[in-house]
Amino acid sequence: MMSVDLGIDLGTASVLVYVKGKGVVLKEPSVVAFDRDTNVIKAIGEEARLMLGRTPGNIIAVRPLRQGVISDYTVTEKMIKYFVQKALGKRTFKKPRISICVPSGVTEVEKKAVEEATFAAGAREVHLIEEPVAAAIGAGIDISKPCGNMIVDIGGGTADIAVISLGGTVVNTSIKIAGDDFDEAIVRYMRKKHNLLIGERTAEDIKIKIGTTYQMMEDEVMEVKGRNLVTGLPKVVTISSSETEQALRETTGQIVESIMNVLERTPPELSADILERGIVLTGGGAMLRGLEELIEERTGINTMTADEPMQVVAIGTGQYVEFMSGQKEY
């Protein structure tokens, strides 16, 4: 019987599972749909995401994590269990050793909740890692060296900004402004500017297809369907990427402010390292166009996005187990 090591990126928007030796085997939205009357779970993951905002009265689709923190304990536990089983397949191993990541600003109580949910989902050992540290490992940075690296991890519910040296965080901040808030900002903008009511999923589509945070040379456009607030009837509006820049300006501004705030608190030696090595962006939010340019313009520090920014935290979480158990070959 061989035991298996898993790394789980338990995100507000998606859950990724990394299996040692195989890489990221599963990436699904963290959404659960269940029947309110019988409490039976109807769907988990992608299937449940398609139900968001489209369910009849007795079925509710919920995201059990809000802003990086467990808001519905039992549902989270079932979700972790489902994803672990799905990632491992039907083969019954010894209970897996799971490392799971938490945003850097969480309280002890919130950490305990994640840990207990993971044990309840069938883990033999649980290691908790702070998200920025996992992101740094996953982005291929050697964190064991005495050298400063700045990581900006923008997820669905939280953005973690940290300066890492010698395997730990030196200065960090976790703000509850991230991908979901980009979506909400777009919803608000469409309502104010176009009198159009759109759902979260539509807003997310706009963000992914044409969203930008920096004035682009050429404007891209897209048709958006929603409900006209004046007539109450369905309506189509054409929106351009420069409009999304206006819609997202305030939200991205807050993330840049937080980056400045962390830089102001960084010890001078590490500041010098960061200037030399630049800022690394990870997480799904890093895929937003123009974010690199915006941060670079405001801080004057070279900014780059990691490869496969969505998977970085899960990969780092999985490799952390190897890093800890000393199985990493040098």
Q: Are 224 and 239 in contact (CB under 8 A)?
A: yes
Q: Are 221 and 240 in contact (CB under 8 A)?
A: yes
Give me the average pLDDT of each 10-residue run along the chain (330 residues).
Answer: 77 87 87 86 88 81 80 86 83 79 83 89 88 90 89 89 90 90 95 93 92 85 94 94 93 94 94 94 92 93 92 88 59
Query: Cα 97 to chain center, whole Å?
Result: 22
Q: Are strands 5-10 and 97-102 parallel, antiparallel or unpaired?
A: parallel
pLDDT for 68: 72
Angle, nearest 10°, between helix axes 200-210 and 179-194? Answer: 100
pLDDT tens digits, residue range 269-282? 999 999 999 999 99
What is the CATH T-level fold of the domain 5-134+312-324, as seen in this structure? Nucleotidyltransferase; domain 5 (3.30.420)
User: What ranges in 15-154 are assigned the alpha helix state H?
Assistant: 46-49, 73-88, 108-120, 131-138
The residue behind tokens 């300006």 is 249
Q: Are 290 and 253 in contact (CB under 8 A)?
A: no
Q: In angstroms, how far apart are the furthest CA atoms of the chain?
A: 67
The residue behind tokens 């998200």 is 131
Q: Tell me whether residue 39 is exposed, middle or buried, using C-beta atoms within 10 angstroms of its C-beta: 0 to 12, 13 to 18, 19 or more.
A: exposed
Q: Are 284 and 311 in contact (CB under 8 A)?
A: no
Sign of CA dihedral 283, 288, 293, 295: negative
What is the CATH T-level fold of the domain 179-247, as seen in this structure? Actin; Chain A, domain 4 (3.90.640)
In the structure, how many helices (H) and strands (E) does the chain have? 10, 18
Which residues on neighbouring strands pair with residue 3, listed in sequence order? none
pLDDT tens digits, residue range 105-119? 788 888 888 898 889
Residue 170 identity (one-letter amino acid): V
pTM summary value = 0.86
Domain residue ranges of the chain, discontinuous segments joined by +: 5-134+312-324, 143-177+255-305, 179-247
pLDDT for 261: 95
pLDDT for 1: 46
pLDDT for 92: 61
Residue 306 identity (one-letter amino acid): A
Q: Are strands 14-19 and 125-130 parallel, antiparallel or unpaired?
A: unpaired
Q: Are 27 and 118 in contact (CB under 8 A)?
A: no
pLDDT for 143: 85
pLDDT for 251: 94
- Per residue, the 3-state secondary structure of 221-268, as one string, reads EEEEEEEECCCCCEEEEEEEHHHHHHHHHHHHHHHHHHHHHHHHCCCH
Please state, in angstroms and rounded to a whole number, the distance separating the CA atoms of residues 290 and 292.
6
Q: How would CATH label the architecture of 143-177+255-305?
A: 2-Layer Sandwich (3.30)
Q: Are 204 and 188 in contact (CB under 8 A)?
A: no
The reply to whether domains 5-134+312-324 and 179-247 share a CATH topology is no
Please state, in angstroms and rounded to a whole number, the distance separating the CA atoms of residues 81 and 305.
32
pLDDT for 105: 74
Please state, in angstroms and rounded to a whole number, the distance separating the CA atoms of residues 35 and 40.
5
pLDDT for 78: 87
